[in-house]
């Protein structure tokens, strides 16, 4: 079978890999669609992010949908031919964090396309995939492209759970890539009263507006665009920091009211913090890492048409154009979410 393999920075290859047969509790899947994520782009453009580096060839990809091709022994909840969204999250379910229900913090996590452990965990960008049946969420009524958006939507939903009640709150989202826009969608669904978004790309801000942002500010054109929100100790109750840029975090904290909450989603490496502002305004800084239960919740929200992810999907390319797809996804002025069609 063909797979998309990263060997090093800017070294992406389509290679032949052996396919497998499902064992007990597993299913064999024919991949339908795979979305290119920010972490995939870090591996492609930089060979990793922060201390996480490619040390060996690795199949990329973790935002995928697929069709069930074959069932292993004792799999009864799925049907051959069924479209499923495939969660890349495979916790051990036995470590102390899994036992506490914190599956995203699993000590033995096998998350598709991750170079954090060595040997690396191979990703899902391959024509055939064997997965645990528990990873597969039926996506009846969705297109394969929509089903492949379950993973980034789950990231935004987990971030929302880290914030808590958003009803009537004023929300700032810095960074309007796919995760930032999905955070806007989730915050609006949760009852946020006002949502302001910032980014450097006008095309990204246009998508943010169409997906629920009340105000969208191009920080490249208006570097002081948040200044008025910082008057009288700040305006916003919650900051979703989705860019991973220290400047965005600092400007966002300046616009937060005292005892506001920062949820950090953007991963661009370590950042310096405006500690004086955090201390004097008693700001709460909360990390948000991956997801678990939120994956199935996201699929259900899409199936009920309570969340519409279709405006984010801007391009779909065939498998043999994988390098072109990664180049396109790297250009924020042209693309929001680039997907690869496997079948």
**Where do the structural domains in the chain lie, given as residue ranges?**
2-149+309-341, 154-287
The yes/no answer on whether domain 154-287 falls in CATH 3.40.50.2300 is no
pLDDT in tens, the chain (343 residues): 999 999 999 999 999 999 889 999 999 999 999 999 999 999 999 999 888 899 999 999 999 999 999 999 999 989 999 999 999 999 999 999 999 999 999 999 999 999 999 999 999 999 999 999 999 999 999 999 999 999 999 999 999 999 999 999 999 999 999 999 999 999 999 999 999 999 999 999 999 999 999 999 999 999 999 999 999 999 999 999 999 999 999 999 999 999 999 999 988 778 889 999 999 999 999 999 999 999 999 999 999 999 999 999 999 999 999 999 999 999 988 999 999 999 8
The predicted structure's pLDDT at residue 167: 97
Give the chain's radius of gyration (CA, Å): 20
Two tokens, residue 161: 């759970």
Q: Do 2-149+309-341 and 154-287 fold alike per CATH?
A: no
Contacts of 141 (CB under 8 A, 6+ apart): 303
Its pTM stands at 0.94
The predicted pLDDT at position 270 comes to: 81
Given this model, what pLDDT does residue 269 score? 72
Q: Give me the pLDDT at residue 163, please.
A: 95
H or E element that contains 94? none
Determine what percent of the chain falls in helix, strand and coil, rounding each to the nearest 5.
30, 30, 40
Provide the pLDDT for residue 83: 98
Distances from the Cα of 186 to the Cαs of 189, 198, 218, 265, in angstroms?
5, 17, 22, 14
Fold designation for 2-149+309-341: Quinone Oxidoreductase; Chain A, domain 1 (3.90.180)
Residue 259 is predicted with a pLDDT of 98
Joined tokens for residue 157: 């939903």
Q: How far is Cα 197 from Cα 219, in angstroms, rounded to an integer?
A: 10
């Amino acid at each position: 079978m063909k797979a998309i393999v990263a060997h090093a920075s800017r070294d992406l290859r389509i290679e032949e890999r052996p396919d497998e047969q499902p064992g007990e509790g597993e299913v064999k899947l024919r991949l339908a669609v795979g979305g290119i994520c920010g972490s995939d782009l870090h591996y492609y453009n930089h060979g990793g992010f922060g201390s996480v580096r490619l040390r060996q060839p690795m199949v990329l990809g973790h935002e995928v949908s697929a069709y069930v091709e074959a069932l292993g022994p004792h799999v009864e909840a799925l049907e051959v031919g069924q479209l499923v969204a495939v969660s890349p999250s495979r916790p051990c379910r036995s470590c102390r964090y899994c036992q506490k229900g914190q599956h995203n913090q699993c000590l033995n996590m096998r998350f598709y396309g991750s170079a954090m452990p060595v040997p690396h965990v191979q990703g899902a960008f391959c024509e055939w995939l064997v997965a645990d049946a528990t990873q597969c969420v039926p996506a009846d009524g969705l297109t394969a492209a929509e089903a492949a958006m379950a993973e980034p939507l789950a990231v935004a939903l987990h971030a929302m759970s880290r914030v808590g009640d958003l009803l009537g709150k004023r929300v700032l989202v810095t960074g309007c890539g796919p995760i930032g826009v999905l955070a806007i969608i989730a915050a609006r669904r949760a009852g946020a009263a006002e949502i302001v978004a910032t980014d450097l790309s006008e095309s990204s801000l246009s998508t943010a507006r169409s997906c629920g942002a009340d105000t969208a500010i191009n920080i490249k054109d208006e570097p002081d665009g948040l200044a008025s929100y910082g008057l009288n100790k700040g305006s916003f109750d919650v900051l979703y920091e989705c860019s991973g840029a220290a400047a965005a975090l600092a400007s966002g904290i300046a616009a937060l009211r005292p005892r506001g909450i920062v949820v950090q989603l953007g991963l661009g490496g370590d950042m310096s913090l405006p500690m004086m502002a955090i201390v004097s305004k008693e700001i709460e800084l909360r990390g948000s890492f991956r997801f678990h239960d939120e994956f199935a919740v996201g699929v259900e929200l899409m199936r009920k048409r309570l969340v519409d992810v279709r405006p984010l999907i801007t391009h779909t390319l065939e498998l043999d154009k994988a390098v072109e797809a990664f180049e396109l996804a790297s250009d924020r002025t042209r693309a929001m979410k680039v997907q690869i069609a496997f079948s």
